[in-house]
Amino acid sequence: MSGWIDTHCHLDAPEFATDVDAVRARAAREGVGLCVIPAVEVSAFDGARALAQRLGDAYALGTHPLYVARAPDDAIDQLDQALTDHAGDPHLVAVGEIGLDYFVPELTQGPLRERQDAFYRAQLRLARKHGLPVILHVRRSVDQILKGLREIEVPGGIAHAFNGSRQQADILVGMGFKLGFGGASTYERATRLRALAAELPPEAIVMETDAPDIPPHWLYATAEARAAGQAQGRNEPGELPRIAQGIAELRGVPLADWLATTTANALAALPRLRALPAVKPDI
């Protein structure tokens, strides 16, 4: 494998609409060999797939919990059909981004909470049906995510932007999941997250940016700075090596070793990545 794997990067987001090729080229120059582009709703499926194919990257298909309110009633059927239609596409590596979000108030109660839970479980069933791992959105919802995984077994995957407890981390890893770490780990005030990044078993972690979201500290502009006219820095996959350097330093390992470790972890979490041209057959 030549370069880092960004296991979660929304290159199909509107923020990249005008310069995605330049963004991807910058990432390649920084040593990012492969990006995984998770679609967030049915209307994004074709775009994520076409972009991944054109760039030589990977993609996943699913409905994100923040998009369930506007999802069509047949969204699950459309996902099932898309997974069937493109089962032979080596660029399709997972069902995602799916999961639960109990941070946004309107999603935590009533019909929308029930709807996102129903979407989560239905998409787990599709992942099991199609033999694909899942890319999970887990925000203040780890226990409910685990409850679904215990009831509906899937072929592993990645808990994206993990920020739970060590006990929850160990349970997910024991269920065959890797945990995604990115820009949030670069903030010194994120003490619990940085402790996890330093202390988890090496086989537990994969690297991600969640670009254009979750910028590392060097791109973040405070509310005061934004009010004064400073623009918020846009996160890009090219930031991944510097983010990874920070975690390697927390762990006290050489960056080259951390590259090898997290590459192996990504390939274990998303086995279909091995079929892509960017991945050497002997890895």
Looking at the domain assignment, is residue 76 inside a domain? yes
pTM of the model: 0.96
**CATH (domain of 146):** 3.20.20.140
- Report the pLDDT value the prediction gives residue 111, as an integer from 0 to 100: 93
Looking at the domain assignment, is residue 185 inside a domain? yes
Looking at the domain assignment, is residue 107 inside a domain? yes
Low-confidence residues of the chain: pLDDT under 50: 281-283
How many structural domains are present in the chain?
Answer: 1
Dist CA 216 CA 201 (whole Å):
23
Looking at the domain assignment, is residue 74 inside a domain? yes
* Mean per-residue pLDDT over the chain, rounded: 95
Looking at the domain assignment, is residue 281 inside a domain? no
Dist CA 169 CA 174 (whole Å):
8
Looking at the domain assignment, is residue 283 inside a domain? no
**Domain residues for 123?**
4-275
β strands within 168-230, DSSP E: 177-181, 205-207
- Report the pLDDT value the prediction gives residue 228, as an integer from 0 to 100: 79
- Report the pLDDT value the prediction gives residue 122, as an integer from 0 to 100: 98
* pLDDT, tens digit, 9 for 90 and up, residues 273-283: 999 988 854 44
- Report the pLDDT value the prediction gives residue 233, as an integer from 0 to 100: 86
Looking at the domain assignment, is residue 280 inside a domain? no
* CB of 65 closer than 8 Å to CB of 137: yes
